Amino acid sequence: MTGSPNDPRRQNSSIKPFGFPSEHRIRSQQDFDAIYAAKQRAGDQNLLLFAIRNDLPQTRLGLSVSKKNGNAIKRARKKRLLREAFRLIRSQLPAGLDLIAIPRADQDGDLKGYQKSLKYLSQKLKRRLEQQSG
């Protein structure tokens, strides 16, 4: 019976250490514009990452996957992989950043590659932002 306390789907709903709640997402066009305007970016073979500081205790992620990445099925897969990579390594990322991840069109990314890229590039951008302000 769905909705009952013994329902396995319900038991895990209160424990979500690896969830992707809305406070970890960038959605508004204003936020995207501000991040792009800051012109702080770093890239590797998998991703181009834009960053700006936020005054929040967590890092937030926005995605931009253009039609250069293929049809809707391929774009949706890249977005799912990026969200999952962020979700799994969120605790290892530097806090207080807003990030926009843009997957490279010529690469078929995988989960491990996106995790590695997100971690490395976000740390690189965090150091760069700290050097600018300090």
CB atoms within 10 A of CB 118: 25
- Mean pLDDT, to the nearest integer, of 43-68? 96
Domains contained in the chain, CATH given: 43-133 (3.30.230.10)
Give the model's pLDDT for residue 13.
46
| The dihedral formed by the CA atoms of 52, 53, 55 and 61, expressed in degrees to the nearest 10 | 50
Confidence of residue 3 (pLDDT cuts 50, 70, 90): low
pLDDT tens track for 5-53: 555 554 544 445 666 778 889 999 999 999 999 999 999 999 999 999 9
Q: Rounded to whole angstroms, how far apart are CA atoms 100 and 91? A: 17
Cβ-contact 71, 31 below 8 angstroms = no
Cβ-contact 31, 98 below 8 angstroms = yes
**Residue 85 has what DSSP assignment?**
H
